[in-house]
């Protein structure tokens, strides 16, 4: 029996009832791959801990990493973002569908539509009849959107920015944001800005990974510095209520390992749908508003770590050669949490742009899939992009034909 840990202050409701669920130990920034000349310099690390607030129910990072540790300007001082949404066909279809739903359900010909974190315009390009505005702080993707003719402001969204937008462009019938809200440190400022810009019966739509999926899939590799909040409908409802808003509908989505699209409005504007009532009940049945499922998750994650360590140790004992595959943020979490370094993995094979760098924390060299991995023929490759398994298996037929096998940590550590 250890001493009962002191509770900390919740980043949402400010009460001192934030209970620690799990610590992953000292963790580097998950996407901060290092250049060779930076290997000797001190690397920023923080204790990555997840907490559950007994008051507002929000699951959150206990230690929040400031933006300037991971939003790193390129040499020209301009913020750039490496992922272009529209290069993914399935995501293009997903967002076109989302735009159509919004259009059919909420918009008339005079409505204005806004998206915060609009990337290269992947969703806004699908609106044909309405005036759109994208807010996108990364210059390179914002430029692609602007080149497509999508009105885009290259700014971080805030309450202050909302005042400027309101004066210049008026109000918006829908404000959408996907995979952005979970990254926002000051969620209250963000929601005050949203509230300011919502038109009469305006709708705020968020889509983020859903806590229920993270728990059931033991997807601990979704936890990292940029993901500050892990939303349930209960916690999101409490957060919205603090800012004069409430949830009236939600819809489960089959993207990013399971997401929840949540529709909210100013208090009293819409009636709750039967669908969202059912989801709230489901969360109650799963005790999502208590610490129970989170404690269970913590236990399962610890078992998963032990299993992976045992599997790798066993293969090393048999003198097998093991490498990593896919230089991802998930890989950074798995390697640092499970203490997997160069004693186990000779290298991590990746497509182009991280080649020549080293993995955060463990400093495993990143090499080219094409130039090294496909010529090398190691015995095993630990897959750090398990969500792309099908695609990888298709690409690496030769490796498999020569007797190579993939290992995954997720959802259970095993050889595939
Ligand atoms: Zn709280």
Which domains, ranges and CATH numbers included, belong to the chain? 85-281 (3.40.50.150), 294-415 (3.40.50.720)
Ligand 1 centroid, distance to 188 Cα (angstroms)? 13
The pTM assigned to this predicted structure is 0.93
Ligand 1 centroid, distance to 415 Cα (angstroms)? 40
Ligand 1 centroid, distance to 185 Cα (angstroms)? 14
Ligand 1 centroid, distance to 291 Cα (angstroms)? 13
When pLDDT is cut at 50, 70 and 90, the band that residue 83 belongs to is low
Average per-residue pLDDT for the chain: 93
Selection from 386, 379, 385 nearest residue 404 by Cα: 379
Ligand 1 centroid, distance to 57 Cα (angstroms)? 6
Ligand 1 centroid, distance to 66 Cα (angstroms)? 20
Ligand 1 centroid, distance to 236 Cα (angstroms)? 11
Give CA–CA dist 156/53, Å, rounded.
Answer: 28
- Least confident range of 16-25, 62-71, 83-92: 83-92
Ligand 1 centroid, distance to 16 Cα (angstroms)? 8
Task: Give percent above pLDDT 90 in the chain.
Answer: 84
- In this structure, is the dihedral angle defined by the CA atoms of residues 360, 365, 369 and 371, taken in order, positive or negative? positive
Residue identified by tokens 């080219």 is 368
Would residue 363 be called left, alpha or beta, if left means φ above 0 and alpha means ψ between -120 and 50 degrees? left
Cα angle at 346 between 344 and 350, to 5 degrees?
120
99-114: average pLDDT = 95
Ligand 1 centroid, distance to 18 Cα (angstroms)? 7
- Give the pLDDT confidence of 292-320 residue by residue, as tens digits: 999 999 999 999 999 999 999 999 999 99
**Structure confidence at residue 1 (pLDDT):** 43
Ligand 1 centroid, distance to 9 Cα (angstroms)? 8
Ligand 1 centroid, distance to 51 Cα (angstroms)? 10
Ligand 1 centroid, distance to 119 Cα (angstroms)? 30
168-179: average pLDDT = 97
Ligand 1 centroid, distance to 272 Cα (angstroms)? 24
Ligand 1 centroid, distance to 129 Cα (angstroms)? 41
Ligand 1 centroid, distance to 23 Cα (angstroms)? 19
20 beta partners: 51
Ligand 1 centroid, distance to 218 Cα (angstroms)? 23
Residue 230 has pLDDT above 60, yes or no: yes
**Structure confidence at residue 89 (pLDDT):** 78
Give CA–CA dist 58/9, Å, rounded.
Answer: 12
Give CA–CA dist 320/305, Å, rounded.
Answer: 20
- Alpha helix stretches (DSSP H) within 244-373: 274-285, 292-317, 329-337
Ligand 1 centroid, distance to 216 Cα (angstroms)? 23
């Amino acid at each position: 029996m250890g001493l009962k840990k002191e509770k900390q202050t919740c980043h949402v409701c400010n009460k001192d009832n934030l209970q620690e669920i799990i610590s992953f130990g000292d963790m580097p920034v998950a996407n901060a791959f290092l250049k060779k000349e930076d290997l000797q310099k001190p690397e920023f690390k923080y204790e990555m801990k997840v907490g559950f607030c007994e008051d507002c129910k929000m699951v959150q990072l206990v230690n929040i990493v400031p933006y300037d540790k991971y939003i790193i300007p390129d040499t020209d001082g301009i913020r750039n973002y490496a992922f272009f949404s529209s290069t993914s066909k399935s995501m293009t279809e997903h967002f076109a569908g989302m735009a159509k739903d919004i259009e059919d359900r909420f918009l008339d010909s005079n409505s204005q539509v806004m998206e915060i974190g609009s990337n290269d315009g992947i969703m806004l390009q699908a609106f044909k009849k309405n005036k759109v505005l994208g807010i996108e702080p990364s210059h390179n993707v914002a430029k692609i959107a602007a080149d497509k003719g999508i009105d885009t402001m290259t700014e971080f969204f805030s309450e202050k920015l909302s005042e400027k937008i309101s004066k210049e462009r008026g109000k918006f019938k829908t404000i959408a944001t996907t995979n952005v809200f979970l990254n926002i440190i000051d969620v209250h400022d963000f929601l005050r800005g949203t509230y300011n810009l919502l038109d009469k019966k305006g709708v705020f739509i968020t889509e983020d990974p859903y806590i229920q999926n993270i728990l059931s899939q033991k997807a601990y590799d979704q936890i990292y510095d940029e993901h500050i909040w892990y939303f349930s409908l209960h916690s999101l409802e409490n957060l919205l209520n603090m800012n004069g808003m409430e949830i009236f509908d939600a819809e489960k989505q089959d993207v990013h390992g399971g997401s929840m699209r949540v529709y909210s409005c100013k208090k009293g504007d819409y009636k709750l749908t039967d669908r969202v009532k059912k989801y709230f009940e489901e969360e109650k049945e799963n005790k999502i508003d208590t610490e129970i499922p989170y404690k269970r998750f913590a236990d399962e994650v610890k078992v998963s770590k032990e299993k992976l360590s045992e599997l790798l140790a066993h293969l090393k004992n048999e003198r097998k050669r093991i490498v990593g595959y896919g230089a991802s943020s998930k890989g950074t979490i798995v390697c640092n949490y499970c203490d997997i370094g160069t004693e186990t993995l000779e290298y991590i094979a990746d497509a182009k742009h991280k080649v020549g760098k080293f993995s955060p924390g463990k400093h495993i060299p990143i090499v080219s899939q094409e130039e090294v991995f496909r010529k090398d023929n190691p015995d095993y490759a630990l897959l750090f992009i398990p969500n792309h398994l099908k695609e990888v298996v298709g690409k690496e037929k030769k490796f498999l034909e020569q007797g190579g096998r993939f290992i995954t940590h997720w959802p259970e550590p095993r050889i595939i």
